Amino acid sequence: MIANRKDSSVSLYEQVGGEAAIGALVDSFYHRMLADPEVNEWFRGIDLNRLKAHQRAFLAVGLGGPEAYDGRSMRTAHTGLAITQDAYTTAVAHLTEALIQLGVDEPIVCQVIKRIETMRAAIVEVR
C-alpha cells in the first residue's frame, strides 16, 4: 500500500509514493496499454524500456519530484502519431486504474489525472 498524504506541503510525487511507486505505476500503465487492442498499435516497434524511462522521468517531474526531464516536449514527442481523443481517454483510464491498483487514495488520483488532462491538447492530433 502506498503511503498517501493530503498535506499540501508534500508534492504529488511524494503522495503517490515517490520513485518506487512511479516505477510501479509506469510498469502497470504500459502493461495495461499493451494488453488493450484499442491502443496497443501505438507501441509496435517501440523500445519499451526507453519509453518507460522517459515516462518515469516525465511523471516524476510533472508530479513535483526531484528528477529532471530532458526529453522532447509532449507535442513534439507525439506529433505524427495520430493520437485520437478516444485513445487519450483510454490512456487516462489505464493510468487511473494503475494508480488505484497501487493503493493511491482517490483524492490524490484525481489530482494526478487533473495534471495529465492538461496535456491532452498537446498530445491529441485527431479531434
The per-residue pLDDT for 126 is: 83
Report pLDDT for 3.
46
Rounded to two decimals, the pTM is: 0.87
* Whether the Cβ atoms of residue 34 and residue 43 lie closer than 8 Å to each other: yes
CATH superfamily of 12-123: Globins (1.10.490.10)
Please give the pLDDT value at position 1: 39
Block residue for cell numbers 510525487: 13
Successive 10-residue mean pLDDT values, the chain, 127 residues: 57 95 97 96 93 90 83 87 94 97 96 94 88
Kindly list the domain boundaries of the chain, sorted by start residue: 12-123
d(CA 42, CA 68): 25
